[in-house]
Amino acid sequence: MWARIVLTPHGPRPEQFRLFTESELSIKKDPRQGIWVAIVGVPSTGPVGAIEVQFESVSGRKASAVSGPNGDAIAQMPGTETWKRAGLRRAGSKDAWTWFEVPAERARKRIAGFVVLNPGELQPAPFKTLSLSSSQGQLSVDENPMGLRGTYAKAPGKEPATD
């Protein structure tokens, strides 16, 4: 008996963030007047790129930037503005914003850090769909744009997993 199986990944789970604690931050130099920086990353691991940051001042003025490979999202704001809060979400998405009040000391220095709690969830799925053919207890990868190929079979004498 022959069957075709099509795998489709689940949509990404909502991202989760929190503020860096002061002890987790290692800031060498504060930004100059008129520049606001949101550092996005994972403590003791590294920076996280492709996070959109919405900067909002006390007066309601907004600016937006996307974190680069170094984890920094940098926006320009007039020197007279004071940073009030920041919203974060996956860049290019329609996800809901996750908002944080920027602590007074961080607002004064114009630099704050945001931790991504689930960085693995931010990675796009490696395929949109993956088609497999099932025949005689084996799975074969059909033609696909990723170049995957092969036939997979259960090892003789092994029972299928039950979890």
Q: Which whole number is the average pLDDT over 111-134?
A: 84
CA angle 102–68–59, rounded 5-degree value:
30
Q: What is the mean pLDDT of the chain?
A: 88
61 band by pLDDT with thresholds 50, 70 and 90: very high
Residue 161 and residue 155 in contact, taking contact as beta carbons nearer than 8 Å: no
User: What b-and-e string marks burial along 36-55, b requiring 16 or more CB atoms within 10 Å of the CB?
Assistant: bbbbbbeeeeebbbbbbbbb
Contact 51, 89 (CB under 8 A): yes
Average pLDDT over residues 114-118: 96
- Summarised one tens digit per residue, pLDDT across range 16-44 is 999 999 999 888 889 999 999 999 999 99
Percent with pLDDT over 90 in the chain = 57
Name all domains of the chain by residue range, CATH numbers in brackets: 1-13+127-163 (no CATH), 17-117 (2.60.40)
Mean pLDDT of the region 112-127: 85
What separation, in Å, do the N-terminal and C-terminal C-alpha atoms of the chain show?
A: 25
The dihedral sign for the CA sequence 116, 21, 26, 63: positive
Residue type at position 72:
D
Please report the pLDDT score of residue 98 as a whole number. 97
pTM above 0.85, yes or no: no
CB of 53 closer than 8 Å to CB of 75: yes
∠ CA(152), CA(157), CA(158), 5° rounding? 60
Residue pointed to by tokens 């974190």: 67
Confidence of residue 163 (pLDDT cuts 50, 70, 90): low
pLDDT of 133 reads: 83
Q: Mind giving me the DSSP string for 9-24?
A: PPPPPPP-EEEPPTTT
pLDDT exceeds cutoff 60 at 6: yes
